[in-house]
A and B are shown apart, each in its own frame.
Chain A
Amino acid sequence: MSQTDDNGPSLEEKKNCNWKDITKDFFELCQQLNVGELVHDVHFGLFEAMSAIEMMDPKMDAGMLCNQVKRKVYDFDEALKANIIKDDNLESEELIGIIDSTYACVVTWLEGHSLAQTVFTNLYLHNPEAIKDKTLKSFCTAILKTVDLIRDRINKASVFEEEDFQSVSYGFKMASEVPSAKVISSLREVEDEFAKKVRSTKDKGEDNETRAKQHELYSAIYSRIKFTRFLYATLLAFSKDKCSGVDDIEKYLNGILDVLLSMQSTIHLGIKPEERECGLHDYPTIMGFEPLVNQRLLPSTFPRYAKITSIEDTMKYLSDMCTRFKFITGVTKCTFLHQAMDFFEDFSKLSPCVLSRSLLHLLVFPINRRFFGNEPLVDVVRDTIRNFIAPPALVPKSSIGSNPDARAYCDAFLQRAANTILQLVNISGQNRARQREKLAHIFEELANLEAEADKLDTYLHRLLMKNSQGQTVVCFVTWVLYHVLKAMFNYLYLGFELELYSPQEYYYIYWYISELHCSWWIPTLSRADNFLMESEAMIETQSGKSAKKVRRQQKKKGKPHAKEVHTAQIHQMLCNAFLKALLGFIRAKKLELADGSSIAFDSEEVRFRRRFAPFQVLSSPQPMAYCHFTDTIDLQRYKPVPEPEHLFQAACKGFQHAKALIEQPPSNQTEQATALLRICKYNIVAMSVLSTGKKEYERPLFDFTVHKHYPIITLKN
């Protein structure tokens, strides 16, 4: 109870109390309780007891940790006074050690740990103003500014959850009074100084060992300061309006990877901790670092144990991170929304760090929610739909396009759609596990959008009929369906990636994906193609070209969505081949189905229903029922009933077809295509071995290392 509590006794009153020791009475009374009885307050039950912190228990009471260590824990000022840390004339080895350990802390923080328990275990960062050593001071100020900028970026992009990132700053001062230009310029000065020193210690023929050593040390510091400047400058450039910093970013990043290499090769030059206290093996303890300084600053969520990343891993992490930065600038080459969304998805497949995810997100959708900071999203969505399927209502100069009511209706829909798009984009920025969770909930939103699109299409269709043109227009629905299906594929494929399916389940998952491809995805794309070509033809003939010529032209150009259709065919073929292979294993009794023999509650039908449950809210595609699945895979329909060998043979053919398709244009030589080719090649061999019926093996194994969604099948002997 605090002193200021109005109702409670003041400290003065407490002092005047007559205290009485009741320990003995208490334990005597306890004797009277029966086994299992517990005296407790009405408002303090077992749940509260479980969630409470037990005072004095070293595992729970943060205050006990300090009592475990038999030494004083110093803050910055105290450490300085006690001569435990230096604030001037640091040795080169000390600087290198401090810089490397600081980056190790930054990286650990970026991996979801608390700022207080990582970055701010470096005492120098608590008050860089007071540091006299110029190099250290510039470095520390820059780190504070960098950390602050990173925090700002990640918070603004908002594509993280508590397990990705801890955004609390505990009120630490982040050198906000120092302008960013000043940070850069003072780093530059230090850098120039060291550049001179490096030059002056260069080997001049005479072999002088100390001089060579000096040279090495100076170069090491030079690269570290340069890296610090480049990193901060890169992040600043990322924050510029309308992607205007992209050229600069590329320039910095080109330099940064070389600098990192020289940092990597000089890690050993830094000071190392002398001896380690028990329990603190996972923290830097060199001069300037006090792992316990913030032990009372606990994170808002349950504290995760922070093991500071090793310096070797830190360098690797930083270099990978910079490579990711370089990759994401590529998004500025996307002109259309769908391209950008595909870019997000491709990037996400690499399971990137939260910082690069956030930076990408902000490049494309900065705070003003405009596409690349420029175009209002509604306009972008309008263009996108026009590009995708050319709805008459959105084609300039069309009869309904100029009807004000129709325009207003369309605009309302586009507004609504823009919101959904933002949600989808946000999901693709989250970590992979969260993506699946969030996708499961987006289908309701998508179902509503489907309904809106349907209403709009119907309304426009009626208008058109009045205006005498007769075709049924389902353009908006088709466009929504495109996004619905993408979300469904993502949801199902993520299950493989997150290792959620057991081999017994693969066959209905592949079946479902294959059905989606052939009954929904490919038809959706073809419909869009037809609309596009019709609309194009109409415009061209209106401008005087002959219909025949237009058609010839179109044929030469090929269908607009041909590439996506081609990819879809490959995936469908693959899924089908896997389905056959799996049926073969099941029929050969090499893949046991959990058929409820071990426990009465398990049933494949229930699992099937649950696995696809999030799709239930959609009106199209209509959810596929379990009996639909069992009907299609029912081998009894065939006469004679196929043997496993026949199924393996069919699978083999399937993989061969898929392989042929991948090798055909318009496939590109992408990583994806190469991986799929390998899958096919290996599986063709496995299937042809199995189709002889002579192979003896215990069970199939599924190896997802080449491709996250399709395994290489091997046989366990």
Chain B
Amino acid sequence: MSTAVQESEDVIIPNGVEYTERKIGELNDYIIPQEPGNSNEENMIKNVYESEHDLDDEREDLKTETIESKLKKLEIDGDTEKRIRLKNYENEKDMPEIMRLITKDLSEPYSIYTYRYFIHNWPNLCFLAFDEDKCIGAIVCKLDWHKKIVHRGYIAMLAVDEDYRRRKIGSRLVIRAIQAMVLKGADEIVLETEVTNKSALNLYENLGFVRDKRLFRYYLNGIDALRLKLWIR
């Protein structure tokens, strides 16, 4: 994530108390319905699976091991699929779980105010994935004006619990966040990730993100970053 984030306007009520509860209430209207099989997102997820099926059918020659293991993976997915639910961020009580997930994969943990900056300003762009009542994934985004002309969505953080990876949970979270940002009028969606983070790169590129820029020695550890971008229009 970026170290230089653009200033945004906090909602401040006269006595200087920021009251974010009300904001959340308003934003609930934008949350996409979650009935299984009915929503856009479920369809898209299905699409991803179906296209995989098509491919497998074509690769007659390869079937033995790969297809079997893939089918097995799908089974597990099918099983957990029903249990794993995405939900919108509700309130500060979600914060420790989000921090726990994200912090695990960071070399230099953010302060709680970094989370608060994003999540309190854009609570409707933060989603969590649950396996029953266990939080196993989170995505944190913002949506802002870039250079006063582009409405730019920004994925600041994404993480999935290690035991739940490779089951499209990360993809689901990203798709859900993209939908929310698009509904709010995003023109493009960007994020930064280390050039070495192959899983994140694959995930985003599968979803149509392109590598827009390389940022030389971007991270504090001296590693280059790639800026990925998805153009909405």
Q: Is the CB of B214 within 8 A of A46?
A: no
Contact A34 B210 (CB under 8 A): no
| Residues of B with C-beta under 8 A to A598 | 44, 47-48, 51, 206-208
Given contacts A42-B12, A600-B44, contact A304 B217 (CB under 8 A): yes
| CB of A52 within 8 Å of the partner chain | yes
> Which residues of B have CB within 8 Å of A500?
210-214, 226
A205 to chain B, nearest CB (A): 53
Complex Cα–Cα for A698 and B44 (A): 25
Question: Contact between A40 and B16 (Cβ–Cβ < 8 Å)?
Answer: yes
For the complex, what is the distance from the CA of A500 to the CA of B51, rounded to whole Å?
A: 25
Q: A46-B117, A50-B116, A437-B213 are in contact. Are A594 and B208 (CB under 8 A)?
A: yes
Stretch from B1-9, B31-39, B70-78 that touches the partner: B1-9
**A-contacting 9-mer, from B80-88, B106-114, B131-139, B157-165:** B106-114
Contacts of A51 in B (CB 8 A): 5
What B residues does A304 contact at CB under 8 A?
217, 220-222
Partner of A597, one of B51, B109, B121, B205: B51
In the complex, residue of chain B having the shortest beta-carbon distance to the beta carbon of A161? B216
Q: Mark B31-61, 1 if CB is under 8 A from A, else 0.
A: 0000000000000100110010001001101
Chain B nearest CB from A434 CB (Å) reads 7
Q: Are A36 and B120 in contact (CB under 8 A)?
A: yes
The answer to whether the Cβ of B182 comes within 8 Å of any Cβ in the partner chain is: yes
Q: Are B5 and A47 in contact (CB under 8 A)?
A: yes
CB of B175 closer than 8 Å to a CB of A: yes
Contact across chains for B121 and A46 when beta carbons are under 8 A apart: yes
B210 touches A112 (CB 8 A): no
Question: Is B44 within 8 A of A599, CB to CB?
Answer: yes
Bound Cα distance A437, B216 (Å): 11
**Distance of A216 Cα from B38 Cα, bound (Å):** 80
Complex: A50 Cα to B8 Cα, angstroms: 12
Nearest to A494 among chain B residues (CB) is: B214
**B231 CB contacts on chain A under 8 angstroms:** 601, 606-607, 610
Contact indicator A499/B8 (Cβ below 8 Å): no
Closest A-chain residue to B211, C-beta based? A500
Residues of B within 8 A of A60 (CB): 111
Smallest beta-carbon distance A317→chain B, Å: 14
Tell yes or no: B130 within 8 A of A by CB.
Answer: no
Q: Is B180 an interface residue (CB 8 A)?
A: no
State how many angstroms separate the Cβ of A605 from the closest Cβ of chain B: 10
A59 at the interface (CB under 8 A from B): yes
- Complex CA gap A599/B177 in Å reads 13
CA distance A696 to B195 in the complex (A): 31
Separation of A59 and B222 alpha carbons in the complex (Å): 18
Question: For the complex, what is the distance from the CA of A35 to the CA of B210, rounded to whole Å?
Answer: 39
Chain B residues contacting A611 (CB-CB under 8 Å) are 210
Q: What count of chain B residues pass the 8 Å CB interface test?
A: 61
The smallest C-beta distance from B213 to any residue of chain A, in angstroms, reads 6
User: In the assembled complex, which residues on chain B have CB atoms less than 8 Å from the CB atom of A599?
Assistant: 44, 175, 178, 207-208
A163 CA to B223 CA in the complex, in Å? Answer: 11
Q: Which residues of A contact B91 (CB under 8 A)?
A: 35-36
Given contacts A46-B10, A433-B216, whether A505 and B175 have CB atoms under 8 Å apart is: no
Interface contact B215-A597, CB-CB below 8 Å: no
Determine if A408 is an interface residue (Cβ-Cβ < 8 Å). no
The reply to whether the CB of B62 lies closer than 8 angstroms to some CB of chain A is: yes
What residues on B are CB-neighbors of A111 within 8 Å?
222
Which residues of A473-526 are within 8 A (CB) of B?
Answer: 498-502, 505
B174 to chain A, nearest CB (A): 9
**In the complex, chain A residues whose CB is within 8 Å of the CB of B114:** 50
Task: Verify A505–B210 contact, CB threshold 8 A.
Answer: yes
Q: How far is the CB of A68 from chain B (nearest CB, A)?
A: 16
How far apart sit A307 and B114, CA to CA, in the bound complex (Å)? 26
Q: Mark B168-210, 1 if CB is under 8 A from A, else 0.
A: 0000000100100010000000000001000000000111101
| Cβ of A88 under 8 Å from chain B | no
Contact status A49-B16, CB under 8 Å: no
Query: Which chain A residue lies CB-closest to B116?
Result: A46
Whether A17 is near chain B, meaning CB under 8 Å from some CB there, is no
Residue A37 CB within 8 A of the other chain: yes
State in angstroms the CA–CA spacing of A698 and B214 once bound together: 30
- Scan residues 238-283 of chain A and give those whose CB is less than 8 A from a CB of chain B: none
Q: Provide the bound-state CA to CA distance between A304 and B215, in Å.
A: 14
Q: Chain A residues near B230: list those with CB within 8 A.
A: 601-602
> Counting CB contacts under 8 A, is A663 at the interface?
no
Complex Cα spacing A346 to B109, Å: 41
Question: B216 contacts which chain A residues (CB < 8 A)?
Answer: 161, 163-164, 431-434
A600 surroundings in chain B (CB, below 8 A): 44
Closest chain A residue, CB of each to CB of B20: A36
A38 — which chain B residues lie within 8 A by C-beta?
A: 17-18, 20, 116, 120
Chain A residues, CB < 8 A from B44: 598-600
Interfacial chain A residues near B121, Cβ < 8 Å: 46
Tell me, yes or no, whether B105 is within 8 Å of chain A by CB: no
Please, which residues of chain A bring their CB within 8 A of the CB of B51?
A: 597-598
Q: For the complex, give the distance between the alpha carbons of A502 and B208 in Å.
A: 10
Complex CA–CA separation, A499 to B108 (angstroms): 26
- Given A505-B210, A599-B207, A57 and B111 touching (CB < 8 A)? yes
In the complex, A27 has a CB within 8 A of chain B? no
Chain A neighbourhood of B229, CB < 8 A: 610
Cβ < 8 Å to B, chain A residues 180-201: none
Nearest A residue to B171, CB-CB: A598
Q: Is A693 an interface residue (CB 8 A)?
A: no
Question: In residues 580-627 of chain A, which contact B (Cβ within 8 Å)?
Answer: 589, 592, 594, 596-602, 606-607, 610-611
CB distance from B153 to the nearest CB of A (A): 11
Task: Specify the chain B residue showing the minimal Cβ separation from A601.
Answer: B232
What separation, in Å, do the CA atoms of A436 and B226 have in the docked complex?
13
Check A50/B117 contact, CB under 8 A, given A600-B44, A696-B61.
Answer: yes
A41 interfacial contact with B, CB 8 Å: yes
Besides the contacts A46-B117, A601-B182, A606-B233, what 11 more A-B pairs have beta carbons closer than 8 Å?
A36-B120, A42-B16, A46-B120, A49-B117, A50-B113, A54-B111, A163-B215, A164-B216, A303-B220, A500-B213, A610-B229
> Closest 6 A-B residue pairs measured CB to CB?
A602-B208, A50-B117, A45-B10, A433-B216, A49-B113, A498-B214
In the assembled complex, 12 residue pairs joining A and B whose CB atoms fall closer than 8 Å, in A order, are: A42-B12, A45-B12, A47-B10, A112-B217, A164-B216, A305-B221, A431-B216, A498-B214, A502-B211, A601-B178, A602-B207, A610-B229
